[in-house]
Structure 1
């Protein structure tokens, strides 16, 4: 067996375990929390009072306008200077959540805004409250618009979790770095890590296509029923 292939075979279990133990949980938790934060922020910007709207805008402005790596460094290395100490994984989770929340809020806000006012009027005309109209009428329709860009955000997040290595989270990429430090084979190990990220992204892209197809069929059924 060639040396490079043997090295990849030996390191594969370690890299996969790091991915399952840190990369996947970090991605799923960050996206779920970020999506929730994004929804709250989007609704606040559309329907909140002026002070809350200004706070939401400031949050989105800061986290969309600064690099994710800098945000992680501020949280993990900067906050201890004011007495806030965080372990690497929680720091990364907070950083990714805030970043995803800012970007997803703009996607969700645009999707909600794309729903015609007639849908609100129709919901209110049959006695729905604002909350019921939002949950039963507006969000399901906005979801069809938001799914593709939110799916892209999720796929990007999978790759962005490699930045957590910079704040010592032992995820997939840092595991590759540790193996490189002992084998002195950066090309082979980093190429292998890239293949794993590529495989995960490809699976997610395939799932995204199926999800978009399902939403398109659901949208067609709604249009036909009108």
Structure 2
């Protein structure tokens, strides 16, 4: 039992590792603040593209959505970081993470937003136009707010997954929380920094999990 506690819950090692874990946490927050807006932006582009009347817009948007939901994000990140330089294009670690999250999480956000837009009755758009709103005004002021409300639990759930996926940035040597915890582990030969990182992730994300549960319960009551 003592060996187990020493291997995973050595608080002296955790105390020593706290400065670099704190630095990693700040990088994780920065990554999340970059990845989530990029994913939402990509999602809107893919959602509107997938619903476009022109097949020259619709088919590529659907294809991009399908491809980047099928490709594992880890493979995508490694390709962007380590594969592109062989073509003479080196976008660096931050560039690889930005492009990777834009494509991968954008595909998931796109499917969620497309489903939300499809869930709004066409009569809503027609009624807004009958009142004199232009097509973009009807979409922005009438259709889109209803669409987002209809899929809000899914959007929050996907955002939670995006924040957790920032841990993949460690494979391209970005010093986020997991990367720093692994560095501390390699120096101390002890798993306690990894346990501490897991605890930090829990504290960071647990409020979002509770918010998601409330939204899901509210959606169930609304359908009932």
Say yes or no: TM over 0.5: yes
8 Å contact from structure 1 (residues 30, 94) kept in 2? no
1:1-226 correspondence runs (5 A): 4-20=10-26, 22-186=27-191, 188-208=192-212, 212=215
8 Å contact from structure 1 (residues 42, 106) kept in 2? yes
Normalised to the residue count of structure 2, the TM-score between the two structures is: 0.89
Offset of residue 156 of structure 1 = 0.9
CA distance in 1, matches of 2:98, 2:174: 10
**Structure 1 vs Structure 2 CA RMSD:** 1.8
Offset of residue 120 of structure 1 = 1.2
CA distance in 2, matches of 1:48, 1:191: 51
Offset of residue 208 of structure 1 = 4.2
Normalised to the residue count of structure 1, the TM-score between the two structures is: 0.88
Offset of residue 209 of structure 1 = 5.4
8 Å contact from structure 2 (residues 38, 101) kept in 1? no
8 Å contact from structure 2 (residues 38, 98) kept in 1? no
CA distance in 2, matches of 1:48, 1:193: 47
Offset of residue 151 of structure 1 = 0.7
8 Å contact from structure 1 (residues 23, 172) kept in 2? yes
CA distance in 2, matches of 1:9, 1:19: 15
Q: Secondary structure at the match of 2:51?
A: helix
Matched residue count: 212
CA distance in 1, matches of 2:97, 2:88: 18
CA distance in 2, matches of 1:141, 1:107: 13
Consecutive unaligned residues of structure 1, counting only runs of 5 or more, are: 221-226
